[in-house]
Amino acid sequence: MNSPRLVIALTKGRILEEVLPLLRQANIVPAEDIARSRKLIFDTNIENVQLMVIRGSDVPTYVEFGSADIGIVGKDLILEYGSEGFYEPLDLKIARCRMMTAEPVNAVPVQGRLKVATKFTNIAKRYYAEQGKQIELIKLSGALELAPAMGLADAIVDIVDTGNTLKANGLEPRDLIAEVSSRVIVNKASMKIKNGIIRDILGKLRRAVEANG
């Protein structure tokens, strides 16, 4: 009897580059070079285990609704999406960065409502509410660093890696909201129905993470 199909959703970009070696250590190898293909679904060396490559912001949706059994996605997107719809059993400790607030260098404290530009609106709302600050949220999809310089916002909430982009645009990181790394998420129904193979994959990935220190 054939084992049921298992789909692992991977995040495009930096996370994909860093997770493929980990998957290889866990003996999950795509049947072709993902970097050279325009396909979105890839067979692997394990029968009925497939890899799907999609935008990070879509990974939680695919996993929650069961189109993917397992997902690998940044903690930032889990925090933004909400984690009630799936399990989060493993931190892969790759693609590390920080979710932070940033403001212009030497900015004078704003009196009244702070204008905050971000694509992480849920994270920003929660963070400033916890600080007891009233804000006006401005949703942007990219180039957040421009918003303060162009008078659109007083501050931004974004992912910070080296901080060089902030510096180049006259900004400085201020408050740490969350440490971010890539996590494994699992569909709740899949964890019951495909428990054996999922636990096997999680165990191999955990050992790969530990081996990498």
Domain ranges of the chain: 6-95+181-211, 97-178
Which tokens hold the place of 133? 């600050």
- Write the pLDDT tens digit of every residue in 13-26: 999 999 999 999 99
Cα–Cα distance for residue pair 179/98, rounded to 1 Å? 5
DSSP state of 118: E
pTM higher than 0.85: yes
Assigned CATH topology for domain 6-95+181-211: D-Maltodextrin-Binding Protein; domain 2 (3.40.190)
- Write the pLDDT tens digit of every residue in 9-60: 999 999 999 999 999 999 999 999 998 999 999 999 999 999 999 999 999 9
Q: Given CATH 3.40.605.10, say whether it is the number of domain 97-178.
A: no
Establish whether domains 6-95+181-211 and 97-178 are of one fold. Answer: yes
Cα–Cα distances in angstroms (integers) from residue 187 to residues 8, 88, 121, 147, in the given order? 10, 9, 25, 37
